[in-house]
Structure 1
Amino acid sequence: MLLDDAYANGPYIQGAETYPPKWQAAATAFRAGLKERAEIGVPYGATDRQVFDFFNTQGPSNGTVIFVHGGYWKAFDPSVWSHLAAGPLAAGWSVAMPGYDLCPDVRISQITGQIAQAVQAIAARTQGPIVLAGHSAGGHLVARMLDAAVLPAPVRDRIKRVAPISPVADLAPLLQTSMNDTLGLDAAEAAAESPTLTPKPKGAAVRIWVGADERPAFLDQAAALAQAWDVPQVIVPHKHHFDVIDALDHAGSDIVRFLTGANA
Structure 2
Amino acid sequence: MQAETVDWDDAYANAPYIPDSETYPARLTAAAEAFRAAVPGELDCPYGEHPRQRFDLFLPEAEPKGLMVFVHGGYWMRFDKSFWSHMAKSALARGFAAVLPSYRLAPEVTIPEITADIRAAVAAAAARVPEGPLVLAGHSAGGHLVARMLCADAALGAAADRIARVMPISLISDLRPLLKTQMAGPLGLDADSAAAESPALMAPRADVPVHVWVGADERPAFVDQARWLAEAWTGAALTVDPGHHHFNVIDGLAQADSPLATALFDGL
TM-score, normalised to structure 2's length? 0.95
Q: Give a deviation string over 1:159-213, Cα, whole Å, max 9, x none.
A: 0000000000000000111112211100000000000010132221100000000
2:245 counterpart residue number: 240
Tell whether 2:64 aligns with 1:40.
no
Q: Give a deviation string over 1:100-146, Cα, whole Å, max 9, x none.
A: 00000000000000100011101111121100000000000000000
8 Å CA contact 1:201, 1:229 repeated in 2 = no
Q: Give a deviation string over 1:4-57, Cα, whole Å, max 9, x none.
A: 00000000000000111000000001001013xx11100000100000000011
Match of 1:201, SS state, is: coil
8 Å CA contact 1:200, 1:228 repeated in 2 = no
8 Å CA contact 1:72, 1:137 repeated in 2 = yes
CA distance in 2, matches of 1:76, 1:152: 25
Tell whether 2:125 aligns with 1:122.
yes
Tell whether 2:55 aligns with 1:52.
yes
8 Å CA contact 2:74, 2:141 repeated in 1 = yes
1:86-105 alignment runs, 5 A limit? 86-105=89-108
Tell whether 2:9 aligns with 1:4.
yes
CA distance in 1, matches of 2:204, 2:50: 33
CA distance in 2, matches of 1:103, 1:173: 18
1:144 counterpart residue number: 148
CA distance in 2, matches of 1:188, 1:254: 37
Match of 2:39, SS state, is: helix
- Per-residue deviation, 1:153: 4.4
Structure 2 residues without counterparts, runs of 5 or longer: 1-5
CA distance in 1, matches of 2:202, 2:158: 20
Q: Which amino acid aligns with 1:232?
A: A
Tell whether 2:110 aligns with 1:107.
yes
2:67 to 64, 68, 73: 64
Aligned CA-pair RMSD: 1.2
8 Å CA contact 1:169, 1:196 repeated in 2 = yes
Tell whether 2:173 aligns with 1:173.
no
1:73 counterpart residue number: 76
8 Å CA contact 2:171, 2:222 repeated in 1 = yes
Count how many residue pairs are aligned between Structure 1 and Structure 2: 261
1:258 counterpart residue number: 263
CA distance in 1, matches of 2:22, 2:7: 24
CA distance in 2, matches of 1:198, 1:261: 27
Match of 1:151, SS state, is: coil
8 Å CA contact 2:66, 2:134 repeated in 1 = yes
1:211 to 212, 215, 227: 215
8 Å CA contact 2:149, 2:156 repeated in 1 = no
CA distance in 2, matches of 1:103, 1:202: 31
CA distance in 1, matches of 2:35, 2:169: 22
1:227 counterpart residue number: 231
Q: Which amino acid aligns with 1:238?
A: G
Tell whether 2:32 aligns with 1:21.
no
CA distance in 2, matches of 1:99, 1:137: 12
CA distance in 1, matches of 2:190, 2:262: 38
Match of 1:147, SS state, is: coil
TM-score, normalised to structure 1's length? 0.96
- Deviation above 3 Å: which 4+ runs of structure 1? none
Q: Give a deviation string over 1:216-255, Cα, whole Å, max 9, x none.
A: 0000000000000021100100100000000001111122
